[in-house]
Amino acid sequence: MAAPAPVIDGTTRVYGLLGRPVAHSLSPAMHNAAFAHLGINAVYVPFEVQDLAQAVAGLRGLNIGGVSVTIPFKEEIIPLLDEVAGPAARMGAVNTVVNQDGRLVGHNTDWLGAVTALQERVELRGRHILLLGAGGAARAIVFGVLQAGARVSLTDIDTAKAAALAREFGVEALEPGQLEACGAEILINATPVGMEPHAGDLPLAPELLSRFRLVMDIVYRPLRTRLLTEAHARGCEVVDGLRMLLHQGAAQFTLWTGQPAPVAVMAEAASGALAGTATCMDKPSG
């Protein structure tokens, strides 16, 4: 027998996701399952944002408890907040906002999600990582893996942006044509390349993959991207984007509620939502 639907009333705390697009997100399934499991009177809703400044004003006006922030707003949202806390200020990217009695405080849990997902498979200290991308997610990952003791080289099709990020964190920037000479053991794709509806795309030449011990893709729709498929075929360990999503989401949940996140419940809900979409659509959905 299905569990009864939660009662939404005037005391229900509202949380959400700010981004564009957001229809593909698994975060509502994760967070709503966690609220229900712990008996918290709260709901998590995805908001497709057209005007970020108006959306942030709406968080204040509606007393929204907190939000996740996704592409393309992780850097753009910073000047609209009252405070940016801890690591988020250092990395210049926010993926979580907490409403503290009317003050909107920005945090970043992406770096925790990435490092936890990687360390489930490999010790990062002393490893050399090649990071693809120079956007908000890449900023968080650079910060996180450096904190874990890794060495980083990064690249992006926007070479000026990659160079600026590399200077900021004191790491190596590579031109896209220099990747063959890079001796990194771990590859992380922090770009949207390979995401539905462009699941056949690759962020780098497949013949370069065999040199890596482990390949991680932050894309989770499809769960097994072409990058991960090609890497696995060449003998690499692979880490899918759902692991990072899960661990960063668990950290968000704790920031909002002050309670430990039910990680197993959130993992099951996210996996179920992903599988359910694929079943309904006869293919993974973006």
| Residues classed as catalytic | 74
Return the SS3 of 107: strand
Pair 164, 135: CB distance under 8 Å: no
Residues 6+ apart with CB under 8 A from 79: none
Instruction: For residue 222, say if its preceding peptide bond is cis, omega within 30 degrees of 0.
Output: yes
| Rounded Cα gap, residues 26 and 54, in angstroms | 24
Pair 52, 25: CB distance under 8 Å: no
| Rounded Cα gap, residues 8 and 251, in angstroms | 24
Centre a 10 Å sphere on the Cβ of residue 100 and count the other Cβ atoms it contains: 13
